[in-house]
Amino acid sequence: MYELKTRNQHNMFDISSMIQKSLRRGLVEHALYAAVEMAGKYRSYLWKRLFVVSAEDCNDLVTGRVLSLYERDKRKADDNAIAEAVCLLAATRKNRDADYFACNILNSRDRRELRIAESHEATTQYPTKNGHDLYDTVEVMKRAFEDLDIEGIGYTANEIGVRYKKYLWNVLLSEYSGKCSPNLAMELNSLKKVDFEQIGEKNETPLYLAKGIVLLLKEWKGYDLIDMRNAKVETRPLDSGPRHMRVPDYVYDCHTVIGRKRGKTKRQFVVEEQASLRPFVKGMFDGCSWERFFELCDTGFWDKENWTPPPAKEKREELENPCRQLDLFGM
């Protein structure tokens, strides 16, 4: 198989693993080395990994600043923008709340019955994947947010987001941008932009959606959130590290070929990466079980054979029409 190589002939996917894991550990020198290795031939993929770290591993409002650095680099290649993003992410406080929410809670693998406030005849214009009426599901999700019902939010948001992700973002921003701090509202808009412009609608990752929901819950629950847009972080030049470095052993987990050959498992990954977080700040889900995720890994996250047939593409696109959105909100 053709193997993608970096500047110093490392396997590109190993270096991709290295940058995320070194940033989790706050190891700036290792992260800068990995960034230099990727910045030539794999610059776009490097930025994709930096965006993933900003959502998956970071506690605070940092994706918006990474997005502005990316846009600076996109206008004209700027190694200083990459270096600043790397040093920023290494310094940002870490926990894996968004990843936990995405893997264990933001799913609707098993169908639930929705408790509808008022009895009415459900329409079939916009069915969710488990056959719920979209209008009903949005109302139940809004009630779950009011009650801070985390499991209910996870089920309904996934039901909507699998087919109508952009619409779900519009609902979240319309409903909750005015009920959170201005800094968080800007971060939510940045997460949506990254989700669609950097990741693309065909990508099924729920990570950025999970981060947005978790940030809302944290602010409402009184968690301390730092806006990293104006945080002062010491930035080192991108090429300030050694010219050549051996890939550290921590890189080789279950997501790499070498790690799998060594018998590394997802259970080990969850424990080891949680323990590696630097600088660490206590999260919402520390100590919670990952058994749901492991079960889904064994049985499948998607049961597409039992999904309700989706509406036509033209019908789904109607949901982004402002008039349709007003109708959904009952306005």
Tens digit of each residue's pLDDT (9 = 90 or more) over 114-164: 987 654 555 578 999 999 999 899 999 999 999 999 999 999 999 999 999
Backbone angles phi, psi at 127, to 5 degrees: -75, 145
Predicted TM-score (pTM) of the model is 0.94
Backbone angles phi, psi at 219, to 5 degrees: -65, -45
326 pLDDT exceeds 70? Answer: no
Contact 194, 74 (CB under 8 A): no
Structure confidence at residue 223 as a pLDDT band (50, 70, 90): very high
Task: Give the SS3 label for residue 133.
Answer: strand
Largest CA distance in the chain: 67
Contact 40, 292 (CB under 8 A): no
Report the chain's C-alpha Rg in angstroms: 21
Contact 216, 176 (CB under 8 A): yes
331 pLDDT exceeds 50? Answer: no
Listed residue (199, 231, 195) closest to 212, CA to CA? 195
Contact 97, 59 (CB under 8 A): yes
Give residues with Cβ within 8 angstroms of 217, minimum separation 6. 148, 150, 153, 284
Domain positions in the chain: 96-225+301-331
Q: Tens digits of per-residue pLDDT, 75-124? A: 999 999 999 999 999 999 999 999 999 999 998 988 999 987 654 555 57
Give residues with Cβ within 8 angstroms of 262, minimum separation 6. 252
Q: Tens digits of per-residue pLDDT, 250-306? A: 999 999 999 999 999 999 999 999 999 999 999 999 999 999 999 999 998 887 878
Buried b (16+ CB within 10 A) or exposed e, 227-245: bbeeeeeebeebeebeeeb
* Long-range Cβ contacts of 176-181 (<8 Å, 24+ apart): 176/145, 176/216, 180/216, 180/219, 180/220, 181/219
Determine the Cα–Cα distance for residues 307 and 310; give it in Å rounded to an integer. 8
* Long-range Cβ contacts of 192-198 (<8 Å, 24+ apart): 193/67, 194/51, 194/55, 194/63, 194/67, 195/165, 195/169, 196/166, 198/47, 198/48, 198/51, 198/70
Q: Tens digits of per-residue pLDDT, 314-324? A: 888 888 775 65
* Location of structure tokens 């080990």: 268
pLDDT on residue 201: 54
